[in-house]
Amino acid sequence: MEESYRYPIGRFKPAEAFTPQNKMAWIGSIRSIPLLLDYCIENMDEGQLLVPYRKDGWNTIQVIHHIADSHMNAYIRMKLALTEEAPVVKPYDENLWAELPDVFEVPLNVSVTLIHALHRRWTALMDAMTDQDWNKIYIHPADGKGVPLWQMINLYSWHGKHHAEQILALRKRKGW
């Protein structure tokens, strides 16, 4: 049961290849995530927003702020890879970030608005990228391997849907 609560759409399965169809689907997913998140939290009250989506999991407020944090990092990583030769990116501890004061003091709608603006910029950037751009890499220090931008966007197209579904599944279980 815990696995289905944690990964309601399943664990991430990377694509094996970069194709025009995959690229369009991934960009479309990134483009639609802000609207999906609007739908996820529509009419939720403060009490509901504070309920964790699973035992020992984040609440909806933390999930939304996490998406903003994570996708900002991804956007910056993409820009670094487009403008530098195989830059080494800085990792961060998402669990510690989810406990910082801004997560609890800043209204949720601030991160929702940020996600809307960020995804608008991000998709504009991706729409203008060449096939050569998609093969540019950044280095993640966790394993020292290069991550092509097409693989990164494959992951982040899943990431937004993954967290949205955690919220939707919680709402369904609770009858909200």
* Residue 158 maps to a domain: yes
Number of independent structural domains in the chain:
1
CATH number, position 160: 1.20.120.450
Three-state secondary structure string covering the chain: CHHHHHCCCCCCCCCCCCCHHHHHHHHHHHHHHHHHHHHHHCCCCHHHHCCECCCCCCEHHHHHHHHHHHHHHHHHHHHHHHHCCCCECCCCCHHHHCCCHHHHHCCHHHHHHHHHHHHHHHHHHHHCCCHHHHCCEEEECCCCEEEEHHHHHHHHHHHHHHHHHHHHHHHHHHCC
* Residue 145 maps to a domain: yes
What are the pLDDT tens digits along the chain (176 aa)? Answer: 688 999 999 999 999 999 999 999 999 999 999 999 999 999 999 999 999 999 999 999 999 999 999 999 999 999 999 999 999 999 999 999 999 999 999 999 999 999 999 999 999 999 999 999 999 999 999 999 999 999 999 999 999 999 999 999 999 999 99
* Residue 13 maps to a domain: no
* Residue 11 maps to a domain: no
Range of the domain at 73: 2-6+18-174
* Residue 25 maps to a domain: yes
* Residue 12 maps to a domain: no
* Residue 81 maps to a domain: yes
